[in-house]
Amino acid sequence: MAFQKKNFIFPMIVFLATAGILTIVQLKVENPLLLAERFIPGAGWGEIFLIGLYGAFLAGKMSDPASLAKWRRYSWTLFSMVFFGQLLLGILFSDKFLMTGKLHLPVPLMILSGPIYREQLSVMTFLFLSTVILSGPAWCSQLCYFGAMDNLFAQRRSNRGKLKNKFQIKHTALILIILITLILKFSGINSIFSLILASAFGVAGIAVMLIFSRKKGKMIHCILYCPIGTLVSYLKFLNPFRLKIDMQCTFCGSCSSVCRYDAMSMADLAKKRPGITCTLCGDCLNACEVSAIQYKFFNVKGQLAHRIYLGITITLHAVFLALARI
């Protein structure tokens, strides 16, 4: 009975947190952000209740390490489908499906290059940074609409070997994006040409998923190609959550086989911490036969630290599902 009550409390907390945040949005934002409210006045309250239930459902499923990876994949895929589905509906039927009523390029690259090109921070910039502060690298394991596609393509059993020249490729891609953006800005080239280049970058990213992520069983787009993924690798340390590997690790490599982010190589295990590209996704928890991998939040360790992290991340995911649109 006590176990069932404990399992009920965590989903209830996520429900209240999700519904609470969306209630503030419903009451304080003058132009409706909730999709149901845009079509039927007052229907936003029903949407809040349903999204809250969705968050609570995920909390119940993902709190079990044995089903965490599966439900993370399901929920992340759903998020991407809803995001791009609303974009398509906005283009074909009604601009009510668009956040501002205007189209914006749905490529993660724009989170970085957009503010550099315009010399102005956007709502997306603040949303991205606040997410990293609250949930660390969860942007790259639960919230990025492009990352969900990369995750699907990388579902084969991962190669345990560490990716070669990973850091050189990651940093080169990031520097090139910044340099190209600055060149476009100061050369006076038409903004339409800049959008074409950004679109081509997005299409090339999908090709990287199709070819390399599927072949390697690792999320090559997110690890090496995406500049936002590289930023998250370092900005995540603004967040206090960590993943630690205890001394009882036997170096069996089971975690390496399920890690899509190339963060659990033998060298990483020897250091007793995952590599820089770890996104705290938690897929490795159930793979470890001796439970040597644990979450840490300040002085809190183990299951409680994991529950706190999951609660924040699932709440953000559910809220974004209700609000994230082009």
Tokens read off for 243: 């993943």
Give the pLDDT confidence score for residue 326 in this predicted structure. Answer: 66
What phi and psi values does residue 119 have, to the nearest 5 degrees? Answer: 55, 40
CA distances from 102 to 35, 183, 253, 287 (A): 15, 26, 48, 45
Give the pLDDT confidence score for residue 97 in this predicted structure. Answer: 84
The answer to whether position 8 is within a domain reads yes
Give the pLDDT confidence score for residue 4 in this predicted structure. Answer: 47
What are the tens digits of pLDDT across the range 165-178?
Answer: 888 999 999 999 99
CA distances from 258 to 147, 227, 237, 266, 283 (A): 16, 23, 23, 14, 7
144 Cβ contact list (under 8 Å, min separation 6): 108, 222, 228
Domain range spanning residue 8?
A: 1-94+318-326
Q: pLDDT tens, position by position, for the chain (326 residues)? A: 444 455 789 999 999 999 999 999 999 988 888 999 999 999 999 999 999 999 999 999 999 989 999 999 999 999 999 999 988 888 888 888 887 666 677 788 888 888 888 887 777 788 889 899 999 999 999 999 899 999 999 987 766 677 888 889 999 999 999 999 899 888 877 778 888 888 899 999 999 999 999 988 899 999 999 999 999 999 999 999 999 999 999 999 899 989 999 999 888 999 999 999 999 999 999 999 899 999 999 999 889 999 999 999 999 999 999 987 76
The answer to whether position 160 is within a domain reads no
**E-assigned strands of 101-171?**
none
The answer to whether position 322 is within a domain reads yes
Give the pLDDT confidence score for residue 14 in this predicted structure. Answer: 97
Give the pLDDT confidence score for residue 160 in this predicted structure. Answer: 63
Give the pLDDT confidence score for residue 318 in this predicted structure. Answer: 96
Give the pLDDT confidence score for residue 101 in this predicted structure. Answer: 60
CA-angle at 271, arms to 270 and 273, nearest 5°? 115
Kindly report the number of other CB atoms within 10 A of residue 9's CB atom.
12
The answer to whether position 48 is within a domain reads yes
Tokens read off for 43: 């229907």
Give the pLDDT confidence score for residue 39 in this predicted structure. Answer: 92
The answer to whether position 100 is within a domain reads no
CA distances from 9 to 6, 251, 295, 311 (A): 5, 36, 20, 11
Single-letter amino acid, residue 253: G
The answer to whether position 67 is within a domain reads yes
Query: DSSP assignment, residue 298?
Result: T
The answer to whether position 90 is within a domain reads yes
The answer to whether position 63 is within a domain reads yes
Flag whether the pTM goes above 0.75. Answer: yes
Give the pLDDT confidence score for residue 219 in this predicted structure. Answer: 94
Could you tell me which residues are beta bridge partners of residue 244?
294
Domain count, the chain: 1
Kindly report the number of other CB atoms within 10 A of residue 196's CB atom.
12
